[in-house]
């Protein structure tokens, strides 16, 4: 039955309605342009993430450089502190095992710092060491007496070395112990005594551990313990970067976890945004399609009704045809509204299925007759069923589910649709298969078939109507019945949809 003349006449009679609808679309389009573009939001999020990563990296690099500098200063301070401890150990040794007794006197004025060592042994006499650096100058340059203290220590060193030699093995042991007290438990190193004036090694090196050999990248640190004789300790260690990074491992681990959490959070946010963008696009397509689907039956029904009211006729057959048109379009409109309302009610807890015993063969036969009547192309059906098969389900929703599958099989077939409907029992489920020989569905599109508002692209074909809710409705309702739906399809050969619902 052709509805185009009726639709055309209705559109002529309802220009005001069309104008109002167009005004609504223009308002909707205007509101859409006022929204912030998704791309701008995505760029802002990515820029923020890059900014956070950049600042975190800058902060970590700054912390590393600061700790590296502190590490180098720590090694120098440890050399000096170890030298002091070694001096005290030698002094204790002299008092315990020898007869060398004496005192070291320190005096200072504004011009000179004088360190005097007095020995009781008359054969040694007195020894005097003068450091040519005024005390006032030392304090003014450094803001502390640190350098002055170093001079005192070095002066003591030069006098004590006259009585006993430096114990390099003891020095190395004290150095390792002092490092451990400062949190550096294991640091392979080599310590040597060198003459800075002659640039020669005076005492062979002490390695800790004994197997350690400095590489070409090893760093050296000096502590000049004898200013007069230009004697110094030289420390060889590998680049301290590894030690610093080891000390930073807690901070690095925490920073990595924070960055990872932020990255996942931003990724999840971006994913949600793009999903929302996709949903928004699908909703726009749905609005356009559903508007068309709603408007068409309304237009045809109104046109038939206007023809009955404005052009009365004594022809009973014509009036019956007009009434049939109105009835069919209202049924189509009712089915569409019922699907939308069913999915809306499904979100509420008070949604319940009205289960009843249904004879499957009569139900499917009525569906076949209905679709053969309303199809706009030749359709042939093949039914393979079990006579007397009864299931307990919601009649309206079961009818609509199978109707959607048949409708899709017709729409996505070429000039002629060939459809096979089969029903088999696999306790406790009834399996209903709807097979067509249509265009088929690409594999990458099959996973989205049951998504809300999703429609498979049909290329250059524009005669396939729909609003992206049919299969979503089928999946939603069959799952509420405790069943499932699956699809097998080969492009160019057709598709098979399998609907499984509990028998009881």
pLDDT tens sequence across 151-160: 777 777 777 7
Tens-digit pLDDT profile for residues 59-90: 888 888 888 888 888 898 899 889 888 888 88
Q: Is residue 380 helix, strand or coil?
A: strand
Quote the pLDDT of residue 402.
Answer: 93
Tens-digit pLDDT profile for residues 396-434: 889 989 998 998 899 888 888 999 999 988 888 999 999
Q: Which of 133-137, 146-150, 244-248 has the highest mean pLDDT?
A: 244-248
**Tokens (6 digits) for 402:** 């199978």
Tens-digit pLDDT profile for residues 178-232: 988 888 888 889 999 998 888 888 887 888 888 888 888 888 999 888 877 788 8
What's the CA gap between 229 and 65, in Å, rounded? 35
Beta strands (DSSP E) in 360-493 are: 379-384, 390-394, 417-426, 429-436, 484-490
For a pLDDT cut of 70, what percent of the chain falls above it? 74
Quote the pLDDT of residue 350.
Answer: 60
**Which domains occur in the chain, in start order?**
4-35+272-337 (1.10.287.130), 51-249 (no CATH), 352-502 (3.30.565.10)
Higher-pLDDT residue of 499, 351 = 499
Q: What's the number of CA atoms in the CB half-sphere (13 Å) around residue 359? A: 6
Stretch 136-140: mean pLDDT, rounded?
Answer: 43
Tens-digit pLDDT profile for residues 331-357: 777 777 776 666 666 555 566 788 999
Give the residue from 375, 370, 489, 369 showing the smallest Cα distance to 436: 489
CB-count burial class (<10 Å; 0-12, 13-18, 19+) for 414:
exposed
- Cα–chain-centroid distance for residue 497? 36
Average pLDDT of the chain, as a whole number: 76
- Looking at the DSSP bridge assignments, the partners of residue 494 are 490
What's this model's pTM, rounded to 2 decimal places? 0.45
- pLDDT interval class at 463 (50, 70, 90): low
Cβ atoms of 301 and 326 within 8 Å: the answer is: yes
- Looking at the DSSP bridge assignments, the partners of residue 393 are 356
Quote the pLDDT of residue 393.
Answer: 92
Quote the pLDDT of residue 191.
Answer: 92
Q: Is residue 483 helix, strand or coil?
A: coil
Residue 3, preceding bond cis, omega within 30 degrees? Answer: no
Residue 272: its H or E element = helix 249-310
**Tokens (6 digits) for 71:** 């590490």
């Amino acid at each position: 039955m052709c509805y185009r003349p009726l639709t055309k006449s209705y559109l002529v009679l309802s220009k005001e309605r069309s104008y109002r609808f167009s005004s609504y679309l223009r308002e909707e389009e205007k509101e859409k342009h006022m929204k912030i573009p998704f791309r701008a939001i995505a760029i802002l999020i990515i820029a923020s993430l890059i900014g956070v990563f950049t600042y975190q990296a800058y902060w970590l690099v700054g912390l590393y450089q600061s700790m590296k500098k502190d590490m180098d200063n720590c090694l120098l301070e440890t050399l000096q502190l170890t030298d002091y401890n070694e001096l005290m150990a030698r002094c204790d040794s002299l008092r315990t095992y020898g007869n060398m007794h004496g005192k070291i006197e320190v005096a200072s004025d504004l011009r000179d710092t004088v360190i005097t060592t007095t020995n009781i042994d008359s054969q040694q006499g007195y020894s005097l060491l003068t450091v040519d650096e005024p005390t006032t100058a030392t304090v003014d340059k450094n803001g502390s007496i640190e350098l002055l203290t170093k001079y005192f220590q070095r002066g003591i060193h030069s006098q004590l070395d006259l009585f006993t030699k430096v114990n390099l093995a003891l020095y190395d042991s004290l150095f390792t112990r002092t490092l451990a007290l400062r949190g550096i438990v294991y640091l392979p190193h080599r310590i040597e005594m060198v003459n800075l004036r002659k640039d020669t090694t005076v005492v062979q090196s002490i390695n800790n551990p004994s197997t350690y050999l400095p590489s070409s990248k090893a760093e050296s640190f000096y502590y000049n313990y004898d200013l007069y004789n230009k004697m110094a300790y030289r420390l060889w260690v590998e680049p301290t970067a590894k030690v610093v990074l080891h000390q930073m491992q807690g901070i690095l681990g925490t920073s990595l976890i924070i960055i990872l959490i932020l990255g996942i959070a931003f990724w999840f946010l971006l994913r949600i945004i793009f999903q929302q963008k996709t949903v928004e696009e699908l909703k726009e397509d749905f609005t356009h399609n559903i508007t068309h689907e709603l408007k068409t039956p309304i237009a045809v029904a109104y046109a038939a009704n206007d023809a009955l009211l404005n052009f009365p006729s004594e022809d009973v057959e014509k009036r019956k045809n007009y009434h049939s048109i109105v009835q069919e379009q209202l049924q189509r409109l009712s089915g569409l509204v019922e699907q939308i309302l069913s999915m809306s009610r499904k979100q509420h807890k008070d949604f319940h299925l009205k289960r009843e015993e249904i004879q499957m063969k009569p139900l499917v036969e009525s569906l076949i007759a209905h679709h053969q009547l309303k199809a706009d192309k030749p359709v042939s059906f093949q039914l393979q069923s079990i006579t007397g098969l009864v299931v307990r389900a919601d009649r309206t929703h079961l009818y609509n589910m199978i109707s959607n599958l048949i409708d899709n099989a017709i729409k996505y077939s070429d000039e002629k649709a060939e459809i096979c409907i089969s029903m088999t029992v696999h306790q406790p489920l009834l399996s209903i298969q709807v097979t067509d020989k249509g265009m088929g569905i690409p594999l990458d599109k099959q996973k989205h078939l049951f998504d809300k508002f999703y429609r498979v692209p049909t290329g250059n074909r524009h005669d396939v109507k729909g609003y992206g809710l049919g299969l979503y409705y089928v999946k939603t309702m069959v799952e509420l019945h405790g069943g499932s739906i699956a699809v097998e399809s080969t492009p160019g050969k057709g598709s098979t949809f399998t609907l499984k619902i509990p028998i009881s």
